[in-house]
Amino acid sequence: MDLTSFLTLFHSAVVFGTVILFGALGEILTEKSGNLNLGVPGIMYLGGISGLTASFIYENGNPNASGLVSALLALISAFVFSALGGLLYSFLTITLRTNQNVTGLTLTIFGGGLANFLGGMLQKFSGGVGQVKVGKAADTFGIYIKSIAGTDTSHPLYAIFGYGWLTYIAIAIAIAIFFFLGKTRTGLNLRAVGENPATADAAGINVTVYKYLGTCIGAGISGFGGLYYTMNYIGGTWANDGTIEALGWLAVALVIFATWRPINAVWGAYLFGIAYWAYLYIAGLNRHTLELFKMLPYVVTLIVLIFVSLRRKKEDQPPAHLGLPYFREDR
Amino acid sequence: MKTTDSAVQIKNPGQNQIYAIQMREITKTFGSVVANKKVMLDLKKGEILSLLGENGSGKTTLMNMLSGIYHPDEGYIFINGKEVSIQSPRDAYKYGIGMIHQHFTLVDVFTAAENVILGLNDGSKFDRKEVSRKVSEIASRYGFEIDPEKKIYEMSVSQKQTLEIIKALYRGADILILDEPTAVLTPQETDKLFAVMRNMKKDGKSIIIITHKLNEVMEISDRVAVLRKGEYIGCVDTSETSPQALTDMMVGRATTLDIDRPDPVDPEPRLVIEGLTCIDHEGVKRLDNVSFTANSGEILGIAGIAGSGQKELLEAIAGLYPVSKGTITYKPKDKSEMSLVGMDPLLIKKSGIAMSFVPEDRLGMGLVGSMGMTGNMMLRSWRKNRGFFVNRKDPNQLANQILKNLEVVTPSTEFPVRRLSGGNVQKVLVGREIASAPAVLMTAYAVRGLDINTSYTIYNLLTEQKTKGVAVIYVGEDLDVLLALCDRLIVLCGGQVSGVVDCRNITKEEVGLLMTKYRKEGASHD
């Protein structure tokens, strides 16, 4: 492979990777609080559809619509509705202590169903499949610094700076979560809740509040993955093809791949992107064999899991209390 | 029985500044179970108070109401003479109460320093170095040793306990509650802990120690408060009481402290172990060239500091732990021989070897918690069952028999065993294992966490098995009991046998020495 095709591959890998990076970052925060939210795909659906709907309502029939306002509405709406998904999950698992796996999977089904229902409605409003368009928001999300990156898609600078600004926000969030978890008291407390809630409780940490906030804010961040997909990846429209769900599961896999470390998630996401698009750059694949190559991200995750479990390093393990309910008087 | 004046006074203690804590008419129920019933308790400033009681007498529950884990249904708590309501652990810290739980409340993947500042937010900057410095300072003041940067999963039990105490002190605790702190310690570590407790007392701290070991009560405390079945019995000065008097208060009736030990009749080798070596998955030698013989009609004790290879030894015999080297030979009455190495429990059973195992983890390895007594009996006997549908009649009969003979307290034989008290759980387990008429009976910490009466029931059951000709292997931690119950004693130390002794002709001190024989560290601090 020459440099040019690698740079194009890298570019599509980063765009792809950012979708799952948002999903994974939110899930890392959630899982650090001890909640295994398998509703990530559903939450990404919620983020995608609510952002799109907000922009659509604002832009539809409004020729003077401002791109900035439209994008801002999409961002806020994506965060709020995804966080509401997280709130629903939190209420069920933390307050009512339902099984986390079942609740998460249900949330995935719910999110996907609701999003595709609303997506279908939007398509009906706008006249047919593929007709939904929130051009102004999508353009705003697609803004990048042309003076640095240029427009030559095979140029190295374009491969670094030629992305919509949400791409960089994702990296910023990763760094922020890294600092939050490792360097702040609140982050330490959150990790303690996920590792050993009884200990956290005895240390005077409000376990319920931490779990709720970790899960809801995590869900909000995951939701940006869906928004990034609708706005940047497919350019401000809606597709009923189930891609968001597939990417949502990849985000969950990425959390494991990154061994719950946000910085690992960044390069892991791009690596997943490269692995995902690699089939386009491998000569001689037909329709059947290319599907095999689409498995690559999952194969990589499996290999990482095997290595992590062989090394048995304590720090690489999931939060010790992940997936388990906590109730003080149960001890 | 002499009780102090304050014990008579029930309510309205007033602004009495002698007391750090006064609890009045505390009642706490869990469902239909009354854990504490109108309990009172006084802790004077700068004293060490023992809270004594059998298991299930409500000691820990009572203390958990001070640490904010539970909230009393009724009653009043006064701290330094002021009535308070402790709603959460955070409140407890606010009032200067720090509790060191029996199950450590530490986060495994955090460092010591991180665990210390957990949950604290005094608005200051999160400065690891400063925290480490303060931790070391507290440690040196009271005579602890700790490395603030060490991860918890690398620490020994005693180090973890030390850290728990430092954690409480770091948070400014003036009142320390220690829940059975010596249960996991070696005699040397216990001495060190007591020295630290005396230092803290000198420094003006008030301390409550929960325990049911009478010798420790006599050694460390100024006063003793006794609970029985959730009720307050009384409080006496340690200098004015005796172990016998305390036992009477605890159990409500005199219990003999002697264990009946008939001499073994016609002992013959039943289980011969030679050169047994086991290596765990991390490459650490858990058992190193262990050899001994378990005879029929004899109780063979296994002593040692926790983690010296006791668990691995029993599991290796039971076919649950891989054997790297050595032989385990079973010699039944008919003089034939059978090697157990490489057999799993199913194969051992199929080979007709009558071996019973009462594991340490009763509800994990021994019983299924969510099943009733009948279901748990079936775990042992379902293979005898023919046909498609299970036969519940025989197991149920057995369950009822155990319920009656061992006086198991349960609403019914279908009631989930998980919800029974520790003693009753153990009765179910031991009853089941004995019912299968074993030739070899292995027990691991059979009386851990049990009250005195249940412990004696277990001792008697084991002795009864011994007189029936069973080879009993008893892994225990209380040396007094081991020396009174067993015929011979194997002392394990770091996976090696450091001594095989005759229990009738050895002192506790000698065994204690054997327990630490191969240890490089530990004794050096004294």
Mutate to test the interface with A, among B61, B91, B118 (most CBs of A within 10 A): B118
State the pLDDT confidence band at B346, using cuts at 50, 70 and 90.
confident
Instruction: Render pLDDT for B425-484 as a digit per residue (tens, 0 to 9).
Output: 888 999 999 888 889 999 998 887 677 778 888 899 999 999 999 999 999 877 778 888
Interchain pair B69, A205: CB under 8 A: no
Report the C-alpha gap between A52 and A83 in whole angstroms.
Answer: 16
pLDDT band at B15 (very low <50, low <70, confident <90, very high): low
Q: ipTM strictly over 0.85?
A: no
Mutate to test the interface with B, among A185, A312, A315, A322 (most CBs of B within 10 A): A185
Alpha carbon distances (Å) from A327 to A19, A95, A148, B62, B485? 35, 9, 54, 19, 41
Chain B contact for A314 (CB, 8 A cutoff)? yes
Candidate from A192, A204, A315 with C-beta closest to B89: A204
Q: What are phi and psi of B294, to 5 degrees?
A: -105, 125
pLDDT at B257 over 60: no
Mutation choice for A interface testing from B105, B110, B153 by most A CBs within 10 A = B105
Tokens of B112: 């010591």
Across the interface, whether the CB atoms of B118 and A320 are under 8 A apart is answered no
Do A36 and A100 meet the contact criterion of CB atoms below 8 Å apart?
Answer: yes
pLDDT band at B252 (very low <50, low <70, confident <90, very high): low
Return the ∠ at Cα B317 (arms to B315 and B320), rounded to 5°: 40
The interface residues of chain A toward chain B in range 179-238, judged by CB-CB distance below 8 A, are 183-185, 188-189, 191-192, 195-196, 198-206
In angstroms, rounded to a whole number, what is the distance separating the alpha carbons of residues B318 and B440?
Answer: 10
* Contact across the interface for A202 and B70, Cβ inside 8 Å: no
Give the whole-angstrom CA distance, residue B161 versus residue B174: 18
Written as six digits, the tokens of B375 are: 């279901």
Nearest to B114 among A188, A205, A314 (CB): A188
**Which residue numbers of B have CB closer than 8 Å to A's CBs?**
30, 67, 69-70, 88-90, 92-93, 99, 101, 105-110, 114-115, 117-121, 126, 151, 153, 167, 282
B93 contact residues in A (CB cutoff 8 A): 204
Which 8-state DSSP code applies to residue B297? T
Distance from the Cα of B132 to chain A's closest Cα (Å) equals 15
Interface test with B, best of A183, A188, A309, A327 (most B CBs within 10 A): A188
Say how far apart CA B169 and CA B117 lie, in whole Å: 11
pLDDT of residue B55: 63
Instruction: Show the tokens assigned to B507.
Output: 């002192």
A 170-189 residues with CB below 8 A of B? 183-185, 188-189
Q: Where are the domains of chain A?
A: 3-147+166-330
Chain A CA closest to residue B113: A188
Q: Are B167 and B138 in contact (CB under 8 A)?
A: no
For residue B32, what pLDDT is reported? Answer: 61
Rounded to whole angstroms, the Cα distance separating A217 from B217 reads 51
Confidence of residue A92 (pLDDT cuts 50, 70, 90): very high
A322 touches chain B (CB under 8 A): no
CB atoms B69 and A331 under 8 Å: yes
In this predicted structure, the answer to whether residue B265 has a pLDDT above a threshold of 70 is yes
Q: Could you tell me what percent of chain A has a pLDDT over 70?
A: 99
How far away is chain A from the Cα of B340, in angstroms, using its nearest Cα? 30
Write a three-state SS string for B104-121. Answer: CCCCCCCEHHHHHHCCCC
Judge whether residue B525 has pLDDT over 70: no
A24, A269 contact by CB (below 8 A): yes
Model confidence pLDDT, tens digit, residues A115-134: 999 999 998 888 877 778 88
B189 vs chain A: nearest CA distance in angstroms?
Answer: 24
What topology is assigned to A3-147+166-330 in CATH? ABC transporter involved in vitamin B12 uptake, BtuC (1.10.3470)
Cβ neighbors of A42 (< 8 A, separation 6 or more) are A85, A107, A108, A109, A110, A111, A112, A248
Pairwise CB contact (< 8 Å): B108 & A314: yes
- Chain B residue closest in CA terms to A320: B108
The mean pLDDT value for B332-346 works out to 85
Instruction: Please check whether residue A107 touches B, CB under 8 A.
Output: no
Mutate to test the interface with A, among B109, B125, B151 (most CBs of A within 10 A): B109
Contact B126 A205 (CB under 8 A): no
Mean pLDDT of A46-63: 92
* Mean pLDDT value of segment B495-520: 76
pLDDT at A20 over 90: yes
For chain A, positions 284-313, list CB contacts with chain B under 8 A.
Answer: 312
Residue B5: the pLDDT is 45
Average pLDDT, chain B: 84
How close, in Å, is residue B119 to chain A by CA atoms? 5
Is B70 within 8 Å of A315 when comparing Cβ atoms?
no
Amino acid at A19: V
Hey, is B23 helix, strand or coil?
Answer: strand
**A191 vs B99: CB contact, 8 Å cut-off?**
no
- Give the model's pLDDT for residue B214: 76
Backbone angles phi, psi at B500, to 5 degrees: -120, 120
- Give the model's pLDDT for residue B187: 75
Give all strands of the β-sheet with B269-279 in edge-to-edge order. B285-295, B269-279, B325-330, B338-339
Q: Do A205 and B118 touch (CB under 8 A)?
A: yes
Q: What is the pLDDT of residue B409?
A: 84
How near does any CA of chain A get to the CA of B86, in Å?
12
What's residue A265's pLDDT? Answer: 96
Nearest CA in chain A to B124: A185
Q: How far is B450 from chain A (nearest CA, A)?
A: 18
Q: What is the pLDDT confidence band of residue B255, given thresholds at 50, 70 and 90?
A: very low
